[in-house]
């Protein structure tokens, strides 16, 4: 009996193979986009975690010399003073057109690294004498090891899959030779157990800076914003895909009603029918999900190199550009496909289960009552309202997401009602019979298209929202770079004495020499870096203040007040007029707050005399130099030559900016790729809706044709209708996208990262998106329209045929 | 497993190979390294310095101290040299590895610290003239070993001591050629057992001024143990009558091998052959999960000596990269006095 | 002569001939009933006369225009301007109200006469239904709307294909009476396809189609 039911149900798909294909593609797209994003996120996160674990990054305090490498003699003198430190020498190495990072650690002193443990516990552990003495051994992940083995002149390679990608781990002795940096150390890590009676760093190595483990840039937290973006995109894509599934399943169920009624009349119980249909949906979800996984795998594989490059470039977070297939990823993807399909089919199943045996017409009622649309609209409005309410009433990232979710869902539910309102206004104003018919017909068509249009709305809103956020971020970032990097050249001296010499030497030949001095203090909210500044127009003109009081600069420079960065302001709840108390006991009024993107720690600015009073003896080794931009290169070179400074001790502002921006732009390559994909899915949703509506369209169109319109005219009207609906949706998507952008910038970003981005509007982008939307709608309607244009009159006549 | 442990264990071979290979790899083969030979002419100050062509070498100082508080203390200061290759090189490429152990033992507690470094960059090493042995900030320094300043520190303790030799160097075995097995594995071995010590200990409970006697052992070899020897019990005892005894027992599959040196108060040394001294554990304590003998009966019939040797603190366990027991002892019986006991391979 | 069908031939796509050399004429103001067995080709002939479909041979001339000379646009214009249609399935435009449906064809043909349309609604008993949508009407009401829509442009020729085929007896009679009286009043010619001899009997002329020929 079940076999017969299945056969009957499946016969539907044989006759409607396009519907079947649409359904499977919908599931596959939803699963594919979601899984791709998940895979990218998981892969990237696994890479950071691996790198942190494997290289013991961020676990220990570090000593660095801001002016360049540390001589090995300094390491020995620290050791001989009792400081338990371990030396690390790092640097890039170009090997057959690819840049890899070499990390040379003192294998004798450095804490245990998993890669070394793995090698040592292998069946053929290397002789430690070989590891520690020339030529040494290089440890690398399998794929890099393969490349390295093909090179001549390198030490023997050992393979370890616990070494992060694109990194060569080796003893510091081998690294010296490899990098040609004899006697140099990049940084030292401070080991956890220090003996009694160790002299302070300022006495024995004043040029070194101690960087607390907590202050080191943690790749995982920095890249969170990036992953947040990707996840949001993944969810939206999933939702858009589910709209397709919902629409197709609904139509298939409606079309099978007659068959189901017949089956029930023949004695099949509703319970059994529901079970069989559930099994059918499960099978479809699994097939579509599997297709989606394949799609997602390749999509992630295609996008991952970009993501990896971005993360490496932006945050120095090592990410492997290679995808590996994880079983749990595949299982999660299939589960999402299954859950999504069931969720999208729930309504149809529910209606089917409640369908009375004897009533209900064949195909769904053509006109959905205005009441239904209005109540959906009211529910939508309620959702939007409660979304805002939750977002404003509660703090936290979850509340932020609930808000965005509420607004988006609510807006989607309100869309059909708003569209129908707009259409009835146009309808009333229409004069010609064709115009009248077109508007009326669009209104009638709306229920069938509304899901696709909701998908389009979400895709457009996401596009506008994320696009506005990224562009705002970029503009702010550029502005911030301009403001913060005002000096044309930045120089770091080896010590205070040289600093003085440099300042004197520069004094006669440049416009201004602005000392950059800072000390690390603590505040109850965490570390606090206190900077001193001299009075110069540069600060007054350019410093990016987001909140300020009267005479802010005068008050700061006379030592009455302090400026703090946004992070500290938000963390400590300090705003102009409040008082900042430092651990030194000094308390100053906050005169202003400035933006400080990407910096995890608190920062404050006081006048130079004030700095000396609060923390006497801060170094004077760094300077910003103001001069005519065209002289920057010349002065940079002169400084290097005159004071024998290493390259990184003298930096030109223009180069710094260009590099920062290049990195920034790369970050969002993936975002725009996903943007286009989401819009593509929405376009596909329109296409599938139009195709599934095709059979219902003929009875609408045929009488008009019979009354004297050509098929070409009708086809043009079909396209026009689709484009008009898309245009109306796009108009409604604009405010929604801006609300989304506002939520991302002002709520979610603040909750997640502690700083708020100002919002800028980019009307040119909207125009571009609008045109793109019309093109998508045009493309989606083109196929059905073409079909109509070529539809044989004899087939149109069948609509009128008596024996229909 | 810690990388440094791995390095050192591989240098000194794996603990699991202990029974086959001798304690901490001291029974390994000596390829490329020099081997001690009888009839060696010691030359000072040269031989106070390192011998890189031998695989292993140590500067090993222990001292029994009395505090101004009337309590007994012991300190240890050891610098091991272990060579990966029988050469020396500049910079990080040096195959010479250095390992420092320092400890303070009170009547209740045992504090220790460990340091590891490689040669070549100046972080650790030994120079003969002027004499200095150092690793990180730890040092044993003087114009020559007759007068030394000694310091070491760990997370919980530190000490600064001055040592003044009151007697001559003492050579063990056949004029410093010390045989360690029936197969004549051997090392070069001499001592300075006549230090007067004074100085200060910094302990978690506060500083304490101390005075006492110290004993420096110098030993180098490339393969001092036979492959089947698994560990040793080593005694350095100073009796109240001014005589001293260095005695050890190497435990192994083919029976124990013993050797000893009787040292009179004026520094005259008499080597005592295998079997002269007998060692009987009287009591064991559970230390670091092992049963370690902390009370011994040592008899030397030639000298009418029968003494009980007992640890001041049973828990003098050095939980370092290779683990052993090292601590001060009290001596009673036919002779009374104090000394140091080292036990490995338990 | 309003409609001249001259030796028209038409085959289905499979090649099976439906009409073989059918000839028929209809003058202004005349009514003609076309009868025949199911599948005899009467609907096909009607569709050809309405310029809804093309034929393989012969010629149809409507109000002086040879249909074979027309392209898609020309045929659409002819349908708009000269012919009105009433079908068994009513074929109203579901998205438009009764009022909009009524005036739709007339407005397409640019011949809207609101008085006439209102009069039609009145006479067809639709005045109270003007704001309704077709799905809310009974079959008889829908067909009355279809007749109204067809008559609103005052066509020269009304083509009706089993206009009462889907209606019960009472509704049938009403619809037929209304249609005939309106045709008579406006002077339109009527070509009506039916299988009912009773209905055929009420028209001026009768033609019987069998085996692809007019008998």
pLDDT band for position B21 (50/70/90)?
very low
Helix (H, G, I), strand (E, B) or coil at B153: strand
Locate the chain A residue with the closest alpha carbon to B117: A108
Instruction: Tell whether C59 is covered by a domain.
Output: no
Rg (CA), chain C: 17
Sign of CA dihedral B209, B210, B215, B219: negative
Fold of domain B44-343: AttH-like fold (2.40.370)
Locate the chain B residue with the closest alpha carbon to A78: B136
Between chains, do B117 and A128 touch, taking CB under 8 Å as contact?
Answer: no
Bridge partners, B158 (sequence order): B153, B202
CB pairs under 8 A between A and B: 107
Out of A367, A432, A702, name the one closest to residue C133 (CB): A367
Query: How far, in Å, CA of A719 to CA of A700, rounded?
Result: 15
Task: Give percent above pLDDT 90 in chain C.
Answer: 29
Helix axes A17-55, A669-706, angle to 10 degrees: 170
Interface-testing mutation among C96, C101, C102, C153, with chain A (most A C-beta atoms within 10 A): C96
3-state secondary structure C38-53: CCCCHHHHHHHHCCCC
Instruction: Give contacts of A121 with chain B, Cβ < 8 Å.
Output: 1
Q: How far is CA C82 from CA C50, C111, C146, C154, in A?
A: 9, 11, 16, 9
Interface-testing mutation among A196, A198, A199, with chain B (most B C-beta atoms within 10 A): A196
* DSSP per position, A438-495: HHHHHHHHHHHHHHHHHHHHHHHHHHHHHHHHHHHHHHHHHHHHHHH--SSEEEE-SS
Q: Are B6 and A114 contacting, i.e. CB atoms less than 8 angstroms apart?
A: no
Bridge partners, B331 (sequence order): B309, B337
pLDDT band for position B18 (50/70/90)?
very low
Between chains, do C161 and A710 touch, taking CB under 8 Å as contact?
Answer: no
Mean pLDDT over A30-44 rounds to 79
pLDDT band for position A498 (50/70/90)?
confident
Q: How far is CA C140 from the centre of its chain?
A: 17
Look up tokens 């300190």; give the residue: B75
Instruction: Give contacts of A713 with chain C, Cβ < 8 Å.
Output: 76
Out of C38, C54, C79, name the one closest to residue A706 (CB): C79
Mean pLDDT over B121-148 rounds to 94
Between chains, do B155 and A197 touch, taking CB under 8 Å as contact?
Answer: no
3-state secondary structure A79-104: HHCCCCEEEEEEEEEEECCEEEEEEE
Instruction: Give contacts of B89 with chain A, Cβ < 8 Å.
Output: 133-134
- Domain assignments of chain B as residue spans, ordered by start: 44-343
Q: Which two tokens stand for residue C27?
A: 């003058």
CB < 8 Å from A in window 133-172 of C:
133, 135, 161-162, 165
The whole-number pLDDT of residue B328 equals: 96
Between chains, do A196 and B156 touch, taking CB under 8 Å as contact?
Answer: yes
Sign of CA dihedral A764, A769, A770, A771: positive
Instruction: Give contacts of A194 with chain B, Cβ < 8 Å.
Output: 155
CA distance A19 to chain C (A): 25
The whole-number pLDDT of residue A299 equals: 80
Domain harbouring C145, CATH code: 3.40.50.300
Residue A658: Cβ within 10 Å count: 12
- ipTM, two decimals, is 0.89
Instruction: Give contacts of A195 with chain B, Cβ < 8 Å.
Output: 113, 137, 153-155, 158
Between chains, do C52 and A797 touch, taking CB under 8 Å as contact?
Answer: yes
Instruction: Give contacts of B2 with chain A, Cβ < 8 Å.
Output: 111-112
Instruction: Give contacts of B94 with chain A, Cβ < 8 Å.
Output: 133
* DSSP per position, A494-563: SSHHHHHHHHHHHHTTSSEEEEEEEEEEEETTEEEEEEEE---HHHHHH--EEEE-TTHHHHHHTTSEEE
Chains that touch A (3 or more CB pairs under 8 A): B, C
Does the pLDDT value for residue A804 go beyond 70? no
Q: Of the segments A293-297, A520-524, A667-671, B293-297, which one has the largest average pLDDT value? A: B293-297
Interface-testing mutation among C95, C137, C158, with chain A (most A C-beta atoms within 10 A): C95
Give pTM, 2 decimals: 0.57
Give me chain B's average pLDDT, please: 87
Q: Is B101 on the interface with A (CB under 8 A)?
A: no
Instruction: Tell whether C7 is covered by a domain.
Output: no
Order the strands of the C65-66 sheet from edge to edge. Answer: C17-26, C3-11, C57-62, C65-66
Between chains, do A82 and B10 touch, taking CB under 8 Å as contact?
Answer: no
Report chain A's terminal Cα–Cα distance, integer Å.
32
Helix, strand, coil share (%) of chain C residues, nearest 5: 40, 25, 35
The single-letter DSSP state of residue A410 is H
pLDDT band for position A325 (50/70/90)?
low
Q: How far is CA A677 from CA A26, A240, A476, B320, in A?
A: 13, 11, 27, 60
Between chains, do A799 and C161 touch, taking CB under 8 Å as contact?
Answer: no
Greater confidence (B102 vs A150) lies with: B102
Instruction: Give contacts of B157 with chain A, Cβ < 8 Å.
Output: 196
Closest alpha carbon to C44 in A793, A707, A704: A793
Q: Are A487 and A612 contacting, i.e. CB atoms less than 8 angstroms apart?
A: no
Q: Is B203 on the interface with A (CB under 8 A)?
A: no
Between chains, do A793 and C135 touch, taking CB under 8 Å as contact?
Answer: no
Between chains, do A112 and B1 touch, taking CB under 8 Å as contact?
Answer: yes
Closest alpha carbon to A209 in A67, A80, A60, A71: A67
Q: Are A103 and A126 contacting, i.e. CB atoms less than 8 angstroms apart?
A: no
Interface-testing mutation among A708, A718, A793, with chain C (most C C-beta atoms within 10 A): A708
Counting DSSP H helices and E strands in chain C, the numbers are 7, 10
Closest alpha carbon to A108 in A188, A171, A179: A171
Between chains, do A440 and C108 touch, taking CB under 8 Å as contact?
Answer: no
Residue A154: Cβ within 10 Å count: 17
Mean pLDDT over A463-469 rounds to 79
The whole-number pLDDT of residue A600 equals: 59
Mean pLDDT over C74-78 rounds to 86
Q: Are A64 and A187 contacting, i.e. CB atoms less than 8 angstroms apart?
A: yes
Is A touching C (3+ C-beta pairs, cut-off 8 A)? Answer: yes
Mean pLDDT over A253-273 rounds to 76
Query: How far, in Å, CA of A75 to CA of A72, rounded?
Result: 5
Between chains, do A703 and C88 touch, taking CB under 8 Å as contact?
Answer: no
Mean pLDDT over C206-210 rounds to 90
Instruction: Give contacts of C93 with chain A, Cβ < 8 Å.
Output: 437, 440-441, 700, 703-704
Between chains, do A433 and C95 touch, taking CB under 8 Å as contact?
Answer: no
Q: Is B84 on the interface with A (CB under 8 A)?
A: yes
Instruction: Give contacts of B118 with chain A, Cβ < 8 Å.
Output: 106, 108, 132
Give me chain A's average pLDDT, please: 79
Does the pLDDT value for residue B22 go beyond 60? no
Between chains, do B3 and A182 touch, taking CB under 8 Å as contact?
Answer: no
Between chains, do A801 and C105 touch, taking CB under 8 Å as contact?
Answer: no
pLDDT band for position A346 (50/70/90)?
confident
Name the strand (E) or helix (H) holding B104: strand B96-105
Helix (H, G, I), strand (E, B) or coil at B317: strand
Is B touching A (3+ C-beta pairs, cut-off 8 A)? Answer: yes
Q: Is B307 on the interface with A (CB under 8 A)?
A: no
Q: Which two tokens stand for residue C53?
A: 């479909």
What are the residues whose beta carbons fall under 8 Å from the beta carbon of B180, sequence distance 6 or more?
B186, B187, B221, B224, B225, B226, B229, B250, B257, B259
Helix, strand, coil share (%) of chain B residues, nearest 5: 10, 55, 40
Q: pLDDT per residue over B62-114, tens digit each? A: 999 999 999 999 999 999 998 888 888 888 888 898 999 999 999 999 999 99
Helix axes A370-393, A397-429, angle to 10 degrees: 150
Q: Is A708 on the interface with C (CB under 8 A)?
A: yes
The whole-number pLDDT of residue A365 equals: 40
Instruction: Give contacts of A702 with chain C, Cβ < 8 Å.
Output: 91
Does the pLDDT value for residue A709 go beyond 90? no
Range of the domain at C191: 29-53+71-214
The single-letter DSSP state of residue B2 is -
Q: Is B303 on the interface with A (CB under 8 A)?
A: no
- Domain assignments of chain A as residue spans, ordered by start: 1-58+222-364, 59-215, 489-627
Q: Are C186 and C151 contacting, i.e. CB atoms less than 8 angstroms apart?
A: yes
- The total number of structural domains that make up chain C: 1
pLDDT band for position A323 (50/70/90)?
low
Q: Are A591 and A563 contacting, i.e. CB atoms less than 8 angstroms apart?
A: yes
Out of B7, B113, B136, name the one closest to residue A108 (CB): B7
Closest alpha carbon to C119 in C90, C96, C148, C97: C148
Q: Are A582 and A564 contacting, i.e. CB atoms less than 8 angstroms apart?
A: no
The whole-number pLDDT of residue A582 equals: 81
Between chains, do C161 and A802 touch, taking CB under 8 Å as contact?
Answer: yes
Between chains, do C91 and A800 touch, taking CB under 8 Å as contact?
Answer: yes
Omega prior to A135 cis, within 30 of 0: yes
Instruction: Give contacts of A74 with chain B, Cβ < 8 Å.
Output: none
Instruction: Tell whether C58 is covered by a domain.
Output: no
Query: How far, in Å, CA of A732 to CA of A724, rounded?
Result: 12
Closest alpha carbon to A493 in A503, A483, A484, A478: A503
**What's the CA angle centered on A236, arms A230 and A239, to 5 degrees?**
145
CB < 8 Å from C in window 411-470 of A:
432-434, 436-437, 440-441, 443-445
Query: How far, in Å, CA of A130 to CA of B188, rounded?
Result: 28
Out of A440, A794, A803, name the one closest to residue C95 (CB): A440
Beta strands B257-263; B244-252: pairing state: antiparallel
Q: Are A323 and A301 contacting, i.e. CB atoms less than 8 angstroms apart?
A: yes
CB < 8 Å from A in window 94-133 of C:
94-96, 100, 103-105, 107-109, 133
Does the pLDDT value for residue A12 go beyond 50? yes
Query: How far, in Å, CA of A91 to CA of A99, rounded?
Result: 10
């Amino acid at each position: 009996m079940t076999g017969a039911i299945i056969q009957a149900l499946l016969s539907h798909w044989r006759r409607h193979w396009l519907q079947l294909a649409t359904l499977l593609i919908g599931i596959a797209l939803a699963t594919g986009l979601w899984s791709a994003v998940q895979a990218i996120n998981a892969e990237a996160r696994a890479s950071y975690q691996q790198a942190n674990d494997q290289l013991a990054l961020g676990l220990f305090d570090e000593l660095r010399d801001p002016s360049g490498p540390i001589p090995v003699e300094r390491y020995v003198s620290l050791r001989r003073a009792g400081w338990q430190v371990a030396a690390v020498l790092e640097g890039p190495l170009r090997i057959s057109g690819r840049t890899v990072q070499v990390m040379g650690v003192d294998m004798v002193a450095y804490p245990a690294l998993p890669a070394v443990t793995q090698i040592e516990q292998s069946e053929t552990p290397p002789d430690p004498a070989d590891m520690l003495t020339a030529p040494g051994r290089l440890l690398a992940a399998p794929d890099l090891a393969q490349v390295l083995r093909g090179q001549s002149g390198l030490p023997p390679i050992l393979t370890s899959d616990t070494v992060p990608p694109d990194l060569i781990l080796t003893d510091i002795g081998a690294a010296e030779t490899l990098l040609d940096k004899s006697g140099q150390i990049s940084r030292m890590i401070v080991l956890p157990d220090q003996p009694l009676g160790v002299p302070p760093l300022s006495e024995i190595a004043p040029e070194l800076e101690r960087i607390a483990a907590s202050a080191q840039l943690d790749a995982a937290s920095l890249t969170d914003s990036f992953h947040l973006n990707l996840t949001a995109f993944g969810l939206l894509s999933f939702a858009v895909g589910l709209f397709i599934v919902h629409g197709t399943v609904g139509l298939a169920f409606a079309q099978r009603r007659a068959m189901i009624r017949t089956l029930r009349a023949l004695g099949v119980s509703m319970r059994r029918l529901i079970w069989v249909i559930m099994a059918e949906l499960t099978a479809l979800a699994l097939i579509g999900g599997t297709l989606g996984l394949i799609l997602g795998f390749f999509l992630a594989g295609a996008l991952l190199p970009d993501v990896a490059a971005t993360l490496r470039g932006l945050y120095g977070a090592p990410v492997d550009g290679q995808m590996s297939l994880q079983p749990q990823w595949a299982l999660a993807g299939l589960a999402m496909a299954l859950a999504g399909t069931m969720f999208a089919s729930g309504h149809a199943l529910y209606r089917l289960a409640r369908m009375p045996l004897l009533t209900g017409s064949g195909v769904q009622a053509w006109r959905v009552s205005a009441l239904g649309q209005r109540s959906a609209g009211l529910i939508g409005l309620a959702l939007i309202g409660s979304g805002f309410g939750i977002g404003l009433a509660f703090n936290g990232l979850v509340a932020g997401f609930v808000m965005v979710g509420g607004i988006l869902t609510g807006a989607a539910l309100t869309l059909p009602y708003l569209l129908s309102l707009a259409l009835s206004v146009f309808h009333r104003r229409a004069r010609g019979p064709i115009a009248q018919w077109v508007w009326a017909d669009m209104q009638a068509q709306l229920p069938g298209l509304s899901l696709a249009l909701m998908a389009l709305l979400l895709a457009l809103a996401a596009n506008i929202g994320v696009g506005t956020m990224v562009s705002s971020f970029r503009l702010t970032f550029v502005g911030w770079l301009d403001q913060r990097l005002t000096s044309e050249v930045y120089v770091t001296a080896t010590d205070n004495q040289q600093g003085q010499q440099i300042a004197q030497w520069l004094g006669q030949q440049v416009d201004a020499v602005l000392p950059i001095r800072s000390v690390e203090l603590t505040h109850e909210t965490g570390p606090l870096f206190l900077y001193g500044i001299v009075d110069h127009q540069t600060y007054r003109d350019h410093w990016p203040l987001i909140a300020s009081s009267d005479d802010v600069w005068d008050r700061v420079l006379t030592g009455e007040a302090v400026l703090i960065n946004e992070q500290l302001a938000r963390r400590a709840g300090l705003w102009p007029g409040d008082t900042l108390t430092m651990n030194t006991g000094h308390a100053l009024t906050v005169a202003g707050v400035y933006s400080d993107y990407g910096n995890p720690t608190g920062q404050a600015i006081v006048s130079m005399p004030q700095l000396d009073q609060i923390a006497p003896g801060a170094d004077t080794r760094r300077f910003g130099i103001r001069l005519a931009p065209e002289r920057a290169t010349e002065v940079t070179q002169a400084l290097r030559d005159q004071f024998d400074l290493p390259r990184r001790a003298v930096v030109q502002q223009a180069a710094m900016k260009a590099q920062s921006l290049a990195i920034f732009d790369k970050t969002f390559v993936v975002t725009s790729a996903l943007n286009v994909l989401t819009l593509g899915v929405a376009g596909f949703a329109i296409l599938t809706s139009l195709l599934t509506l095709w059979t219902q369209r003929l009875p609408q169109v045929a009488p008009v044709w019979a009354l004297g319109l050509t098929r070409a005219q009708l086809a043009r009207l079909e396209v026009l209708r689709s484009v008009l609906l898309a245009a109306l949706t796009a108009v409604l998507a604009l405010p929604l996208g801006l609300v989304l952008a506002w939520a991302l910038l002002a709520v979610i970003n603040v909750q997640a990262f502690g700083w708020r981005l100002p919002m800028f509007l980019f009307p040119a982008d909207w125009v571009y998106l609008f045109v793109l939307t019309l093109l998508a709608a045009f493309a989606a309607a083109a196929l059905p329209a073409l079909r109509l244009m070529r539809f044989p009159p004899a087939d149109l006549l069948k609509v009128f045929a008596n024996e229909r | 497993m810690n990388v440094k442990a791995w390095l050192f264990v591989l240098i000194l071979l794996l603990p699991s190979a202990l029974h086959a290979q001798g304690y901490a790899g001291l029974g390994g083969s000596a390829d490329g390294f020099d081997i001690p030979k009888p009839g060696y002419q010691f030359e000072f100050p040269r031989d106070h310095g390192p011998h890189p062509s031998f695989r292993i070498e140590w500067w090993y100082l222990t001292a029994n101290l009395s505090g101004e508080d009337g309590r007994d203390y012991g300190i240890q200061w050891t610098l091991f040299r272990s060579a990966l290759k029988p050469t020396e090189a500049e910079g990080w490429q040096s195959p010479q590895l250095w390992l420092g152990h320092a400890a303070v033992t009170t009547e209740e507690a045992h504090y220790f610290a460990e340091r590891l470094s490689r040669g070549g960059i100046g972080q650790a090493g030994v120079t003969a003239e002027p004499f200095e042995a150092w690793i990180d900030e730890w040092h044993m320094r003087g114009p020559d070993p007759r007068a030394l300043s000694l310091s070491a520190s760990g997370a919980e303790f530190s000490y600064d001591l001055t040592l003044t030799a009151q007697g001559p160097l003492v050579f063990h075995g056949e004029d410093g050629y010390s045989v360690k097995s029936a197969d004549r594995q051997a090392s070069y071995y001499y001592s300075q057992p006549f230090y007067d010590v004074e100085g200060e200990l910094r302990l978690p409970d506060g500083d304490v001024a101390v005075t006492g006697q110290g004993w420096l052992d110098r030993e180098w070899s490339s393969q001092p143990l036979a492959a089947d020897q698994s560990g040793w019990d080593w005694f350095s005892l100073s009796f109240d009558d001014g005589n001293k005894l260095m005695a050890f027992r190497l435990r192994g599959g083919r029976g124990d091998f013993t050797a000893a040196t009787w040292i009179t108060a004026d520094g005259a040394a008499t080597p005592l052959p295998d079997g002269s001294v007998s060692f009987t554990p009287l009591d064991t304590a559970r230390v670091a999960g092992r049963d370690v003998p902390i009370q011994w009966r040592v008899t030397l019939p030639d000298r009418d000596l029968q003494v009980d040797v007992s640890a001041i603190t049973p828990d003098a366990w050095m939980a370092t990269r290779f683990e052993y027991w090292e601590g001060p002892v009290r001596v009673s019986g036919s002779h009374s006095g104090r000394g140091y006991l080292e036990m490995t391979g338990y | 002569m309003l409609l001249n069908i001259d030796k028209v031939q038409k085959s289905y796509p499979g090649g099976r001939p439906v009409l073989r050399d059918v000839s028929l004429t209809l003058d202004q103001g005349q009514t003609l009933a076309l009868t025949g067995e199911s599948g005899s080709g009467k609907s096909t002939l009607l569709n050809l006369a309405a310029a809804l479909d093309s034929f393989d041979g012969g010629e149809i001339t409507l109000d002086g225009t040879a249909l074979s000379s027309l392209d898609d646009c020309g045929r659409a214009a002819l349908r708009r301007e000269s012919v009105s249609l009433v079908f068994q399935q009513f074929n109203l435009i579901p998205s438009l109200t009764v009022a909009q449906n009524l005036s739709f064809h007339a407005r397409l043909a640019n011949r809207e006469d609101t008085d006439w349309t209102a009069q039609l609604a009145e006479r067809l008993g639709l005045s109270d239904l003007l704001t309704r949508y077709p799905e809310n009407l009974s079959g008889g009401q829908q067909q009355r709307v279809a007749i109204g829509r067809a008559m609103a442009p005052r066509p020269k020729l009304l083509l009706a294909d089993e206009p009462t085929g889907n209606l019960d007896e009472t509704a049938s009679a009403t619809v037929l009476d209304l249609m005939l009286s309106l045709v008579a009043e406006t002077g339109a010619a009527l070509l009506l396809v039916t299988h009912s001899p009773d209905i055929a009997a009420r028209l001026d002329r009768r033609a019987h189609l069998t085996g692809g020929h007019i008998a």
